[in-house]
Amino acid sequence: MNRTIHAKAAEEICRIGRSLFDRGYVHATAGNISVRLDEGILITPTDACLGHIQPSELAWVDAAGVQQRGLPASKSLRLHRRIYDADPAAGAIIHTHSTHLVATTLRGVWTQADILPPITPYYVMKVGHVPLVPYHRPGDPVVGDHVVTLIGVHAERGTPLRAVMLDRLGPQVWHRTLGEAAAVLEELEETARVWALAGRDVSPLPEARLAELHTVFGARW
């Protein structure tokens, strides 16, 4: 284990956790964060406040899924491991109970395949498709089956996922780095807020504009 890389990853998890907490993207003890390293996964403890987590408290889980140190790992550990296995490009995962996204599932999503319509160019470019995963209790292993299936379907379509929405719980977001995952989460939550404020009958970007974003920026929708 490279202790320098491990320490930097731990500090980054704590920094991102504090930032999300301070800006209202997470609250109380909701949410979890992990980073994949060569030898395993560093993940926040279960029932921990992301705004006050310390590096020494993070759970270190080896490649076999056995926790080696830290406080008891998040109940979402199994889901994180399945996402990492399904998407080799994923290097970090964030789960929150962000207010506007959870409210969207309660009021009704745009479609099951896309919880929000493509109403802004940056949502299309930075987030992409976000399907809804049916409700299951927190930590239910069945959720992993749904998420892995969705990752596979979108990979075959050439529209790789960066997030799914767990019904009544919150978004599960992943990317190459923790900073990139946090950026996707923020864009996703802010788009849900804009959709609520603008009115749910707001028109999505037309197909020609979506095609333009693909041509100019490589956006995959």
- Annotated catalytic sites, by residue? 122
Residue 126: how many other CB atoms lie within 10 Å: 19
Residue 117: how many other CB atoms lie within 10 Å: 17
Nearest Cα neighbor of 25 from 104, 92, 98 is 98
Q: DSSP states of 145-170 as a string?
A: HHHHHHHHHHHHHT---SEEEETTTE
Q: Distance of alpha carbon 62 from its chain centroid, rounded?
A: 22
> Considering just the CA atoms, what is the radius of gyration of the chain in Å?
17
